[in-house]
Every structure is written in structure tokens, then in C-alpha cells.
Structure 1
């Protein structure tokens, strides 16, 4: 079941909360997209198919919609997902990205700074200040422009598709079990640890451990936004050695301590 709720709107843009409570499912029927949008995954994971090309989405990635596409969604795991969808008109897009901007056809990885700016935007919507909304959206788009990394697609089509499938399956496993280790992850995706490490870096541009930390920090931000008070409990659930380890990783990724992040998220 899909629920959409408008969080805020200003001239040229609308911010919506998109909550999907579907159980594990196969592909939905094709649905047309009607706007230029950028979609941030806040929680959960899913697969998206556009024009026959599949991609995997989780809180480390974002994707773009443009009018006239037909998309399908599948949920490989239980628990549903929650996203922030920012619909933009061409004036807003061109003010940040230029008149010749063409949205990427596939998802991109976002920096921790972009994800934090997105969550701060969602938190700030409580104020109802339309000017602040517009300013924050423009800043967020600039951060995405400067810090996004296109998810790579290289090699012969069949080989590249096979590699992408293995890497997407690994990302799905990390999303569902953020404490997973290399050897268990390799068993899940049915390749050797060495092969997995090599193709993961080739496809994503980073190591598995680095990617897992990025994914875990997104979970930390989501839990802090949900007013989680116990960092020790959070560290244990997400597989950090202790609270200090969690704080170090968060600071390295975002540049702020968990306590400072609480303040920036309005908590």
C-alpha cells in the first residue's frame, strides 16, 4: 500500500513523504511518472525498473524521475520503505543545475552531507516558512550536484548486468542486516569473498566496509530523527564495537557528533 503526504509546497516545488507498507512483492504494474522529481530513500530498500533497466535503491542512493517514464517497483524484503520525494519545475532545476541539465537515467550514491541536508530539510518543514523551504531545497540540490557519484555501469552488457546483480544483492543484504560480515555476505550472494570485494569496488567505487559504514550512518540519522536516546543501544543493534566507535564513524562520515546532529535535526 502506497501513501503520499504533502509535507510542504512553495513556488515551483513540492516535498512529499512517500510511505510504502507493502510486504515482500514482485514487480508492480507499470505506472507513468508525471513530474521532474528527486527521490531520497529514508528507510528500507526496493528495486526499480524503468524502460527495462533495473536498479536497487536504499538510503545510500537517490534517483530521479522525469515526466513520461514508466516505472515498476518490487520489494525484495519485508518492512516496506519510506522516501522523500521533491518535485521540481524546470526553473528551480535550471537555477541550480543549469539549463542543459539532464537527470541521470540511473541512481546515484549520495554523500553523507547530502543525506544530512535532506533530513534537516524534512525536520525544518515543521516551521512552515516557505522561504526557508525554498532555500533549503536549493542548498540540498547543490550538495547533491557537488557530492553525488553515478553508480557505475561498465563492460559488456551481459557481464556488467551480472556484476551489477551481485553488487545489488550484496547491498540488499547489507540493508537488511547492517551487522553482516564479509564471509556471510559472500555466502548470501554466492560468490567468493575476494570476487565480491573486487567487483563491489569496481561497481561502486568504494570498499564493502566503507559502504556498510555509510549505510549504518544513514540508519543512525534515521533513528536520531525518530528521537532515539540511547547511543549504546543503537551501537549494539548496528554492530559497532561500542558507543565511542559509533560516534567516531558518524563524525568521520558527517563531520558532526551525534549530540550535535540531534540539535541540527531539531531534536
Structure 2
């Protein structure tokens, strides 16, 4: 398998969406890379670390990362297994209209002030819906553009995001804890075990993680497991998906899915999975911006 597999899912004058799969063979920092346009990258499987100068950002399914135009960066893969992300670029005028002014620099080209933002579960569901709809040919270009803009709006909306805000030391500590958890999602970690891996007390780890990420450690692990289980693409096989992501049986996995998803999954025939996905995860109804 080559280091990279890039599949173009949608390309229009306004948006460009690609599915990027990396084998993750380089455990240490790779070569210096640079992009000519600002990319929004939504990891949906695996983890990696993006290095920009002295700033390190762990890329996982709970984050959107900003790869700014003209900015040098490196990537490393501390955990084996590779990774996959949904990468997109938008027309600069359109993106500047969507992004809150405090998130971007006023000059050109458009660049974000922060390296990443945490996204909420609804945005994670939109990532899965968009990827599935485009990959399977369910969505026509107009719908694909609309879903992309809805995802970007939700990912950048102030009330649905959380910027990491803490000291550099605490941020690095939390990043190490995230890599520990993601190294084995099926393992039933205890707080003491994670704290021992990163070399701090359980109390300090708990307090630091919540301060930096805005969610408790256990909830972060739950979101990673749900992303790994693929609730959108595998609604009809919850037992298999649950076992592969750390749930002991299908019931806990199903209990974590929204009630309307569970209800539709019981009523809709298996050959209509694509339309089911479009119905139950049509987040445009509740997202802060509708396009």
C-alpha cells in the first residue's frame, strides 16, 4: 500500500472534498510539507500528530485541523494502523463569510489563528454522512456542496466548538493521554493506567483534560469509539461494529446513538441504508447555519 491514497469525492468552483488515507508508516516527523491553499481536515479514523514549529496537534475524530496556506508542517504517526481524513478546501470568499472574524487573520490568503478546534458529535455525524453520500454516489453535486457548507459552518460555529485553552505543558500532557487512549480503543482503560502512562496523578490528569478539551476523559474515549464503530455506515451491524471499537456488546453502542437513528434502523429495509442515512442524519435542520 502506498503511503497515501487520495480520492476526489467532490470538485466544484466552490468546494473541493477529498478522502485522504495514509498508511502511517513514519513514526517520527516526516519531511517538511506546505500547502498553497488553506485546508480544513476532519480525521475520521486513526490518529497522527501534526507539527507546526513548536506547536503539536493530535489529529483525531473529535477535531478539525487547519492546514494554513504557506505554512510549513510535519506529520508523525506514534500509533500504528494508519489514518484517514476528509480534507476540503473552499472558495476563500465563501470561507471568510462562514468563519467568525476572531478565528481568521484579516490579511490574505485566508489563514486561521488556531491550529485546531474540537467539534461536537453532530459535526462528527456530518463528516460520516458527507463521506458516505459522496463516496457511494448518493449525493449530487448540489447536495454535496450544501452538506459541505453545513459541516464547515457547524465546525466553526462558536457554540458548537471548543478551542484548546491552557498552558503549553498541559496541552502536551493531554495530547499524550489522547495518544495513549487511541493506541488501543478496545482496551478497558482505567484512570490510574492512563495517568501512569503519561506520568502524572489521576486527579491532575482529570482536571487538565477537562480544562483543555472541555469534556471529561471518558466522554472523549466514547466519542473515539463511536467514530471507530462507524454508526452511520454500520447501523445494521452494531454488534460487529461495537466489538471492533471497544464495546463489549451491541447494546451499549446502540444506546449511544440518537433515538431517531435507532428507530429508523429498525423500520427501514437493509437495501435502503443510503436513504436511511440521509434521513436520520440530515443535520441541516438543527445546525446553526443552513445552506
Stretches of structure 1 that go unaligned for 5 or more consecutive residues are 155-159
Match 1:40 to one of 39, 42, 63: 42
Q: 1:257 aligns with which of 239, 245, 262?
A: 262
Q: Quick check: 1:177 aligned with 2:177?
A: no
5+ unaligned residues in a row in structure 2: which ranges?
105-111, 267-272, 280-291
The correspondence of residues 23-172 of structure 1 with structure 2, limited to 5 A, is 23-97=25-99, 102=104, 103-125=112-134, 126-127=137-138, 129-146=140-157, 147-152=160-165, 154=166, 160-172=167-179
Runs of 4 or more, structure 1, over 6 Å off, are none
| Contact 2:174 2:212 survives alignment (8 Å) | yes
1:194 counterpart = 2:203: yes
8 Å CA contact 1:2, 1:21 repeated in 2? yes
Partner of 2:21: 19
SS at match of 1:29: coil
**Structure 2 length-normalised TM:** 0.80
TM-score normalised by length of structure 1: 0.86
Report the secondary structure of 1:87's partner residue: strand
Taking the aligned partners of 1:21 and 1:44, their CA distance within structure 2 comes to 10
Tell me the residue number matched to 1:232.
239
In 2, the alpha carbon distance for the partners of 1:166 and 1:212 equals 16
Partner of 2:11: 9
Aligned length: 257
Cα distance in 2, alignment partners of residues 99 and 149 from structure 1: 16
SS in 2 for 1:162: helix
